[in-house]
Amino acid sequence: MSSVPRFWRNLGSRYNLEGTRCKECGEYFYPPRNVCVNCRRMGELEPFKFKGTGEIVSYTLIHTGAEGFEGQAPYTLAIIKLDEGPRLTSQVVGNTDNIQIGTRVRSVFRKLGEDGERGMIYYGTKFVPVDA
């Protein structure tokens, strides 16, 4: 679980799929970075909002959910390669019966969880298969 202050610090990347792009080499990063791994100090990073589309490069079906996700099992967890290049791990929701490696996906805004019965509900990015 994220602490409340950390949660609020990450709102841009969590809600808007925002990362950074190096002006020097053109590399994209998600989550946002402070230093380009290629250019080091020579690179200048700028905020970048990703389109939210990509493809599944690996996935698994979770039958026994981790703490806080027990009620969602079974669910699909995938590594998504965004069209701009970065990879991220995300839950795939919606009709996941026919997903496979290479399936096109798009980002959606969904509930991620909550802190306790009366705690804060937090939202973020998940992905759904793109209808062919």
β-strands 87-92, 45-49 pairing: unpaired
- Rounded to the nearest integer, the mean pLDDT of the chain is 85
Give the tens place of pLDDT for each residue, 35-74: 999 998 788 999 999 999 999 999 999 999 887 777 778 9
Residue 65: inside a domain: yes
Structure pTM?
0.80
- Here the tokens at position 66 are 């981790």
Average pLDDT for 78-104 = 94
User: pLDDT value at position 56?
Assistant: 98
Q: Pick the closest to residue 18 from 44, 46, 43, 47 (CA basis).
A: 47
> Is position 26 within any domain?
no
Alpha carbon distance 79, 97 (integer Å): 17
Residue 72 per-residue DSSP state: G
Q: Which of 78, 104, 72 is nearest to 92 (CA)?
A: 78
Q: Would the pLDDT of 109 be above 80? A: yes
Q: What pLDDT shows up at residue 15?
A: 64
Inter-residue long-range contacts of 72-78, CB under 8 Å, 24+ positions, other chains counted: 78/105, 78/127
Listed in order, strand segments (DSSP E) in the chain are 18-22, 28-29, 45-49, 53-62, 75-82, 87-92, 104-114, 121-129
User: What 3-state class would DSSP assign to 120?
Assistant: coil
Asked if residue 2 has pLDDT above 70, the reply is no
The reply to whether 72 falls in a domain is yes
pLDDT at 4: 54
CATH number at residue 118: 2.40.50
In the predicted structure, residue 117 carries a pLDDT above the cut 80: no
Residue 80 included in any domain: yes
Range of the domain at 94: 51-131
The Cα–Cα gap between 100 and 59 comes to 8
Query: Is residue 28 within 8 Å of 19, Cβ to Cβ?
Result: yes
Split into its structural domains, the chain has a count of: 1
